Structure 1
Amino acid sequence: LWHERDISHSSTERIILPDSCLALDYMLSIFTSIMKGLRVYPENMRRNIELSQGLVFSQRVLITLINKGMTREEAYKLVQDSAMKAWQEKQSFLSLLKVDKRITAHLSNRELDSLFDYGYYLKHVDEVFDRLGLTKVKKVKKARVESLAPRSI
C-alpha cells in the first residue's frame, strides 16, 4: 500500500525534518564564517601544484592515450610507470613522457605539451564564478609584490 500513510511514520518525520533544517543552518553558518575569513595565496597554490612535477596532468594523458586506441590497462601502466618515476626521482613527468617511446608512439611532443596546460582546468572559471554570484577572476600575467599579500574573497 505504497500510496497510503498512517501515523506510524509521523514520529520520525517530526524529528528528522526539523533536525535536518537545524543541521543545514549550522553547516551554512560555519561555511559562511570560513568564507568570510578565507585568505587566498595564488602564488602558493601554483607552487604547491608544481611540486607534483606535473602529475596533476596524468589523468589527461591517460584519457588521451585511451582515445588514441590504447586499452585502459595498457595506458594506465604506461602513465603509472612514468608517474612513479617522476615522483620518486623528483623529475618532470612531462619530460619522462617525452622520452618514453611507448608514449611518443601515440602522442607527439606538441600533443603532450598541450595536455600540460593549466588553462584547460580554468576555462570555465568565470562562468562558475558568475553562477555563484562571485566577482570575475582577474587574469594576471606577472605576479606583483602586492599580489603576494593575503586577500579575502
Structure 2
Amino acid sequence: IRHFQRTEVYEAEEYFSVGQKGSSAMPHKRNPVLSENITGLCRVLRSFVTPALENVALWHERDISHSSVERFILPDAFITADFMLMRLTNLIDKLLVYPENMMKNLNLTGGLVFSGRVLLELPFKGISREEAYKIVQRNAMKVWADLQNG
C-alpha cells in the first residue's frame, strides 16, 4: 500500500478525510500513515523473536528463567498483533483502489511484464530453456529500447 500510494505509482491509497493533514514538508502529499504505523509495529513484534528463541535453552531440566520473558513478550505480542490486525482491517475496508492507473502502469512496459510467462511456455513448444531465455531476452531488450527511444 505504501508503494502503491506513491505519487508516481498511484494505484491505491489510504482513505484521506477532509481536513486531514498530509506531509509537513509537501502539503499536496497524502502520507500512508496507517500503513507506516503498521510497518513500524511489525518491527516491534519481530523484536520479540530473539528473547523467545533464547528461551529455548534452559538449565537443569527446565529452570524458570523463561517465565519472566514469556510473561512480558506474550501479552505484548498478542495485544500488538491484535491492534495491527484491527488497524489493517480498517485500512482495507476504506482502501481506495485505482484500476485504471494499474492498467496504465502495466502498459508502460509494452507487455514486458509477460516475458516470464513467455519464457515458461516456450519449452512446451520444443525450445530448450536456455534458447528460450535468449529469444525472450533479445526481444524484450528490443522492446525496452524502443520504449526508451519513444
| TM-score, reference length from structure 1 | 0.48
Bigger proportion of residues as helix:
1
Flag the structure with more relative contact order, 1 or 2, with Cα contacts below 8 A and sequence separation at least 6: 1
